[in-house]
Amino acid sequence: MSTIWQFSTINESIKNALEFSLGPLLISDYIQSPIVILTHLFTFYLIINDTPAVMNVYKRYLLYTQFWLFTRDLMWSIFVRPVYIYPSNANACMGLFSFMFQIDCHYQFSLINLFISMTIASLTTLMIYRRNQLTPPGKYHFTPRTIIAFNVFGHFIELSNVILFSIAGLESEKVDLSRFQYHDFTATAYTLNLPIVIWFMSIFVIAIWTCIFTALFVFSIFFQLAQAKERMSPKTFELQKYFSNTLLLQLGAVFVFFLFPIAVIMLGIYFQIFNTWIINSVIILPSYFSVIYSWILLLMTPVYLNAIKAKFGKKMDEGKVSETDH
């Protein structure tokens, strides 16, 4: 009797999750996908065309991070469209990879984890480099080689974690969605075996370490600036403080709209403490993260803000001239 009840509960949870994904989540995707893509393209355009030559190294870091943000968004909202199903430890994929190619959902989730991992590693490296720029030379400064080594090490750890997840999920079972009349999507049911548990614990430890490490580095900027205040001109100090506040704002966006929702999803699925609606509502937040992060970069960096004002101000002036001509 319990088996029949459990089967009914799992079927109901899968059905509810799929309906939610094709309802509110799909509406959200239709609204935010054009905004996300246009924001990325506009950010790429400004970074490539309006970054001064003296900021070429910073430009490379910005483009590198923006690339991973852009590809992660494409995977998340168009190609994979992940759906987390509670309480069945199942995942569904409702994007183009399933619709057009019927790729196994487990491999699609491995791909999603890869892009999330690479995004976190690139953001961490960018913030370390930015911190180097904002603090006076000292024992806590890193050479360009050290920053690259941090980046390579971070990508190696993240890639190893993705490989572990891929191997751990080989025992997963495909879920037949045809009984729910969803023939064009794929789903996978996981068993909490030892490799899955090891994967979860490792990614949880890596995430905590990354958060603490990045937060300490960013907050240490203010401490070092306070120590070096007497050696700086008031104008230089205020400028460095302004950029430090911008970096802190970006870090806040990373935590609130990216790392925190992912942590809620992971904990909710592993410990089964949230229902499908809560988990899949939280999924929406990372979709807006890159837009918020990119606009903080553009509006809080004087070079890009001036470029935006110049471009849109020129168009407004041209519009006024054309009106007077008529």
Of residues 62 and 146, more confidence is placed in: 62
Give the chain's mean pLDDT: 77
What is the rounded distance in angstroms from the CA atom of residue 261 to the CA atom of residue 286?
A: 7
pLDDT surpasses 60 at 235? yes
* Higher-scoring residue by pLDDT: 82, 272: 82
Average pLDDT for 80-89: 73
The whole-number pLDDT of residue 46 equals: 95
Residue 28 has pLDDT above 80, yes or no: no
More confident residue, 34 or 218: 34
CATH assignment, 2-309: 1.20.1070.10
Q: Where are the domains of the chain?
A: 2-309
d(CA 24, CA 30): 10
Locate the DSSP E strands across the chain.
82-85, 90-93, 173-174, 186-189
Cα–Cα separations (whole angstroms), residue 129 to 29, 133, 134, 151, 249: 33, 7, 9, 10, 16
Question: What pLDDT digit, counting tens, does each position of 150-192 carry?
Answer: 778 877 877 887 888 788 777 777 877 777 777 778 888 777 7
Q: DSSP assignment, residue 95?
A: S
Residue that wins the pLDDT comparison between 9 and 197:
197
- Rg for the chain, CA atoms, rounded: 23
pLDDT digits (tens, 9 = 90+) for 63-80: 999 999 999 888 888 888
Q: What 8-state DSSP symbol labels residue 174?
A: E
Q: How far apart are the first and last CA of the chain?
A: 80
Q: Is residue 40 over pLDDT 90?
A: yes
- Structure-block tokens of residue 188: 């996978």
Higher pLDDT, 198 or 74: 74
Residue 321's pLDDT is what?
36
Model confidence band, residue 45 (pLDDT cutoffs 50, 70, 90): very high
pTM, two decimals, is 0.80
* Number of other CB atoms surrounding residue 49 within 10 Å: 9
- pLDDT at position 42 is 95
Q: Per-residue pLDDT for 299 more than 80?
A: yes
* pLDDT band, very low/low/confident/very high, at 137 (cuts 50, 70, 90): low
**How many CA atoms are closer than 13 Å to the CA of 211, on its beta-carbon side?**
16
Q: Residue 23 above 80 pLDDT?
A: no
pLDDT at 297 over 70: yes
Structure-model confidence comparison of residues 88 and 319, the more confident one:
88
pLDDT per residue as tens digits for the range 247-266: 778 878 887 887 777 777 77
Higher pLDDT, 211 or 297: 297
